[in-house]
Amino acid sequence: TIYTNDPRQPIVQLKIMGQVQVLLRCEPDELVLSRVAPGERQSASTLVYSQVWGNFHLTDVNLGRAGVEHSIEEASVEEREALGATTAYRVTFTLPGDLAAGYFTIPVNFRAVREADQPNSEELTTPAHADCELTLTGKVLRRLSVYGPDVDVRGTILMGRITEGRGAYVKLLLKLRDDDKDLRVTKIDTLPKSLNVRVERYETNGGEDHGLYHLHVELPKDAPTFRLPPDKRGRVTVEFDHPRVPRLDLPVDLFVAPRSDYVP
């Protein structure tokens, strides 16, 4: 744009329009697998394409974790046309079945090399190779998960401040993700000792076994006062006779205050 303070001179505005072609890109460059069951080998794929090279091949695939598998196949005509690509590949990644519970981020990078057997004049001016990076991210669910309004994201049972003599009760839902859905309780330990804990199978209307249980945690009305330092928590520990779920450890946020502290 050209500006002038002379009112007799017109303002001239110029625009440069065009399209920058993609040499190499992954679409998408982040593959999200949000709910991976324990042991599940979930897969996701990306399209690797070029709008410049007439042809290329992928090499030097570097996976950021052992056990991740990948496969490469030519993209369909429809996929290639939707990207305006001259060449495109669909790359599929499969997670290993031994990922630990929790969030994961796995970097992936590989190199694309231009095929130059019969290069055209435009290809001769482009690089002979380029790199592409992406990430596999997501979360592996716990084999035994705890749900309910009285448990936080860290698995802490939230019983809060209770006045002596009033008692409290919390019921949580347990979800077992395993082929063996029989949770056989062998031992229960709690802090404070006054907590009463039991595990009961949740029976669905259809009679199917979905691995659901209820965890009952009760503080009796006659429980004594209980207080720990701010950086400490009570606990509920349940041990099972199960080949892959030996125990469940849950912190407990609980403070049983003396009656003398009660203000109506």
Model confidence over 69-118: pLDDT tens digits? 999 999 999 999 999 999 999 999 999 999 999 999 999 998 999 886 54
Model confidence over 193-202: pLDDT tens digits? 999 999 999 8
Mean pLDDT score across all residues of the chain = 88
Quick one: CA torsion of 205, 206, 212, 213, rounded to 10 degrees? 40
Model confidence over 30-80: pLDDT tens digits? 999 988 999 999 999 999 999 988 889 898 889 999 999 999 999 999 999
Q: Which residue bears the tokens 């004594």?
A: 224
Residue 260's CB is within 10 A of a number of other CB atoms, namely: 8
Residue 125 structure tokens: 């001016």
pTM above 0.95, yes or no: no
CA distance 25 to 22: 7
The whole-number average pLDDT for the span 133-141 is 95
User: 3-state class of 62 per DSSP?
Assistant: strand
